[in-house]
A and B are shown apart, each in its own frame.
Chain A
Amino acid sequence: MVMIRELQEGLFAGGSAEEMINSLFEKIRRSRLNAYNHIAEDQALERAREFDRSPWEGSLAGVPIAIKDSISTRGIETNCSSRILSGYVPPYDAHVIERLKEEGAIIIGKTNMDEFAMGTSTETSYFGPTKNPWDLDRVPGGSSGGSAAAVAAGEAPAALGSDTGGSIRGPASFCGIVGIKPTYGLVSRYGLVSYANSLEQIGPLAMDVEDAALVMEAISGHDPRDSTSVKSEGGYLSGLNGGVEGLTFGVPKEYFGEGVGEGVDPEVERSVWDAISKLEELGASWKMVSLPHTKYALAAYYIIAMSEASSNLARFDGLRYGLRLGADQDWHSTFSEIRAAGFGPEVKRRILLGTYALSAGYYGRYYLKALKVRTLIKQDFERALSSGGADLLVTPTMPFPAFKIGERIEDPLSLYMADVFTVPINLAGVPAISLPCGFADGLPIGLQIIGRHFDEVSLLRAAKAYEDATPYHEAVPKEVI
């Protein structure tokens, strides 16, 4: 286990950044997890040596951070775990990378993910699946599985992921760490390779709430290069220790029992209710609330995500960058063959379905209807979180703990069902955090707390209060030792 704050204390006490990063690289090289696609050894060590020569200031000074392979890093290959982006080295840094560097962080590598973030298990990666450090036979969740596994196993103190339908929270839940999906618009998407633009946000994965808040503070805020980004008030760290007294938690009835809550593992449900009791014990109150359109969320989500993806991924034709095969033929055949060879089956499935949903004659029946459902779901959350309602909502993050590698990959629908509690949050654009709240057969369980638009402060404050009162975040997977 590596914490940002402990590392920084070590550096302040005269420790060498180069040694610290070298030992991380040593650990990554020995690792059986397959959490990283690329290690930025030269870049990172050079920056560490610079830091050792004349240390700079910054909230993340000298801190190594791992980056999901869908976030553009200048000079470091960025593949989105897809063959089609083989050899692509971005000539620019994503906004979040610039921000991390400005705060003094050192980028150590790119983490494995589901190909183009399309998946819930990191099994659709061209580079093979990442393994869960709690049980090497199991998936780490997805799509930011590499980031979550790396942090959980101490191969990075913190990482960035991206969350389109649960891709930060799901892996955080499966790997027993903290992951935040910020409010849509809080973190600039400039440099994040788009899967579904209107749904996704970049966010942190870390060992505890405070480390996650530290990274949040660094990456959030307005960026003129992303028209959907807004100004941030910040204050995530300073508001962290306010406690939960006086807060009302809403428990959406649709997430328990009948309906979408039906497939929930009993251990998961029990842990979440224990968490609710714990919050009550800490001075909060709770009540049942209703999110009546929950059952339509998954369908609306997949239609919107796949439609946007079909358009976003059309640019990958091997013409300007990425995969190139043998001798060129005419343009049409050349790019068709490159796309046929470059994309994996799940990506192809989603491109085809998305293309279909946007086609003339089907647009109104699918895409437009999904947008209407999305509005209803957003209204559900706004009503449940209105001033007379709850301040925050509590739910399980995933319906079950980490499943076995290969267990669900052949059955896409059962895999899509795993996103049932995370997807509505992206449709509504509200922020949510996943943090450890128990174990089932030695596998971590995640608690999801959902907040109002741009009220990350309350979200983090509640998460911190719960974390301080429980031991789950301190547990360390076997693989680490």
Chain B
Amino acid sequence: MAGGDVIIGLEVHVQLNRLRSKLFCGCSTDYHASDPNTHTCPVCLGLPGTLPVMNRRAVEYAIRVALALNCEIQGETLFYRKNYYYPDLPKAFQITQYDFPLGMGGSILIKGEDGEEKKIRITRVHMEEDPGRLVHAGTIDRAKYSMVDYNRCGMALLEVVTEPDLRSPKEARSFLDKLRNILEYLDVFDGGLEGAMRIDSNISLVGGERAEVKNISSHKGVEKALAYEITRQRSARRRGVAQVQETRHYDELRAITVSIRTKEEAHDYRYFPEPDLVPMRIADWVPEVEAELPELPDAKRERFVAEYGIADDHARSLTSEIRVANFYEVVAKRAPSRLAAAWIADVLKGELNYRDITIDKFSPDHMVEILSMLEGGKITEKGAVEVIRTILDHSGDLSEVTPTRVVEAKGLARAGNDAVKAAVRAAVEESAQAVADYRAGNEKAINFIVGVVMKKTRGRADPGEANRLVKETLDEI
């Protein structure tokens, strides 16, 4: 899909959903499991006479993000009204920022298409309120009616706008992964909640007009929507049809984009300063917020390499999610750090991904226990993988399953020396043909005998150890 002729810029709407209340009122943000329109009040419903009051914590969170994205912070906040009619917008205007966004001129590093680090410039970061949510009876272009849920109306949103620095859907995806990672490090965002991140994307082919694709709600969706759009624009060009500047809607179910308006129909939002909010001198807040900024992914990765002596690839994998990084640090303090890095980054993460679950489903204590058994030779690597899988697949009370119990219950304890030696003697005796082949100079015949040993010990012998013992025995005879 990378062709060097693709230009992509993103506008990412991020809900600051770790806040306890909405941006301009006291309504709880914990609405995801609630019935529609139960987390509302006169203010977020825009009832006549109500006024917005700025949630100071939201401003602090926004500054945190802007700083982490290496932006310049404005001296003063200034909010505007963006006027337009839409049923999900009960005041018929959205309070947002306009020509003085909170942060400007930032950047983040991603792993580019060529595998090298690549800097993606961030034009601006600004705050705004989330509109409600429309639920269409069917698809947007064919629905007979739509319903509105105002639970999310008034949630604090950040809009992060990039320069057109992305060159492929994969780069767009990796930008979003990195952004999400940073936001979770900052503890302002939970990417697991519905509607947490929504993406609009500007995409064009070199020399062509751009299309804005709206309504992308997942990282996977971005790759699909952009790939579709590139194919669509390329084939239009091949047919000699010029791309016009337009807005397209991504239909996730059908995985296609649909044109919803062209440039001629563009809105005039009649921006003007929101008279009900007073400007705040946020420049004064910056030193304090900066001082409390947590360690960010890139810094953590470097520290992991230096402090725990682990490979850069492992460090990158471990720090790509704050929860994994925290998990690793707990384990690494009580177990050999390199062994822990390999087992968490290479094995545990894979098993979690396969099951599409997060790392909180696994206890660091259990990991320490497993690594300690491995190190002490009590279980084999194969046994360790089996223990991890068993625990992850256990659906009941987690306190019931400990690695030790799994090892006992499944008979995964590595066979003792005597047992292995006995198995080796028996195997050698039973495998006359293989022994003869070995003696005749066929070294590979030994593998057959090791296989018999493994079978006799039901896999609890260490294959390397078994191999050595078989060789010893054969050479003794």
Contacts and interface: CB of A to CB of B under 8 A. Distances in A.
A316 B276 CA distance: 19
Interface stretch (A86-94, A175-183, A383-391): A86-94
> Which range contains the number of B residues in contact with the other chain?
20 to 34
Given A92-B42, A194-B49, A227 B278 contact: yes
A464 B49 CA distance: 33
Interface in B21-68: 42-43, 45-54
Interface stretch (A6-14, A56-64, A209-217, A307-315): A307-315
B91 interface: yes
A363 interface: yes
A94 B90 CA distance: 19
Contacts of B275: 197-198, 228, 308
A290 to B, nearest CB: 29
A359 B276 contact: no
Contact of A314 (B43, B93, B271): B93
Nearest to B278: A227
Contact residues of B: prevailing secondary structure: loop
Interface string B223-235: 0000000000000
Interface string A318-346: 01110000000001000100000000000
B151 to A, nearest CB: 14
Interface string A250-288: 000000000000000000000000000000000000000
B109 interface: no
Interface in B252-306: 268, 270-272, 275-278
A191 B278 CA distance: 18
Contacts of A321: 47
A311 B93 contact: yes
B48 A355 contact: no
B83 interface: yes
Contact of B83 (A94, A314, A316, A320): A314
B276 A228 contact: yes
A434 interface: no
A317 interface: yes
B272 A363 contact: yes
A311 B47 contact: no
B284 to A, nearest CB: 18
A340 to B, nearest CB: 14
A373 interface: no
Contacts of B46: 315
Contacts of A92: 42, 47
Interface string A58-82: 0000000000000110000010100
A193 B47 CA distance: 9
Given A227-B277, A314-B93, A331-B87, A367 B272 contact: yes
A360 B48 contact: no
A224 B53 contact: yes
Q: Choose among B85, B91, B146 the residue with the greatest number of A CB atoms under 10 Å from its CB.
A: B85
A94 B49 contact: yes
Contacts of B277: 227
Contact of B49 (A192, A198, A320): A192
Nearest to B54: A227
A307 B272 contact: yes
Nearest to A80: B48
B147 to A, nearest CB: 12
Nearest to B276: A197
Contact of A311 (B45, B49, B51, B81): B81
Contacts of B272: 307-308, 311, 358, 363, 367
B276 A227 contact: yes
Contacts of A224: 53
Contacts of A88: 48
B49 A72 contact: yes
A314 B85 contact: yes
Contacts of A85: 48
A464 B236 CA distance: 80
Interface residues of A, number: 42
A315 B270 contact: no
Given A311-B270, A320-B90, A335-B85, A190 B50 contact: yes
A322 to B, nearest CB: 9
Contacts of B90: 315, 320
A251 to B, nearest CB: 32
A90 B48 CA distance: 8
A316 B90 CA distance: 9
B401 interface: no
A138 interface: no
B83 A358 contact: yes
A198 B277 CA distance: 10
B469 interface: no
A310 B83 CA distance: 9
A358 B270 contact: yes
Interface in B70-101: 81, 83, 85, 87, 90-93
A311 B276 contact: no
Nearest to A332: B85
Interface in A126-185: none
B276 A355 contact: no
A200 to B, nearest CB: 10
A5 interface: no
Interface in A355-380: 355, 358-360, 363, 367
A266 B278 CA distance: 43
A319 B49 contact: no
Contacts of B93: 311, 314
A192 B278 CA distance: 18
B193 to A, nearest CB: 26
B268 A359 contact: yes
Contacts of B91: 314-315
A26 interface: no
B92 A314 contact: yes
A225 interface: yes
Contacts of A78: 48-49
Contacts of B50: 190-191
A193 B81 contact: no
Given A228-B278, A319-B87, A320-B45, A360 B268 contact: yes
A359 B50 CA distance: 25
A299 to B, nearest CB: 17
B53 A90 contact: no
B280 to A, nearest CB: 10
Contacts of A197: 275-276
A90 B268 contact: no
B51 to A, nearest CB: 5
A46 interface: no
Q: Choose among A315, A321, A358 the residue with the greatest number of B CB atoms under 10 Å from its CB.
A: A315
Contacts of B54: 227
Q: Choose among A71, A78, A316, A358 the residue with the greatest number of B CB atoms under 10 Å from its CB.
A: A358
A314 B53 CA distance: 20
Nearest to B144: A330
Contact of B53 (A91, A227, A308): A227
A226 interface: yes
13 contacts: A85-B48, A88-B48, A90-B42, A189-B49, A194-B48, A226-B276, A227-B52, A311-B93, A314-B91, A331-B146, A355-B270, A359-B268, A359-B270
Given A189-B51, A314-B91, A359-B270, 4 more contacts: A91-B42, A228-B275, A308-B275, A314-B83
Top 9 closest A-B pairs, CB basis? A314-B92, A358-B270, A198-B275, A197-B275, A193-B48, A191-B49, A72-B49, A315-B92, A193-B49
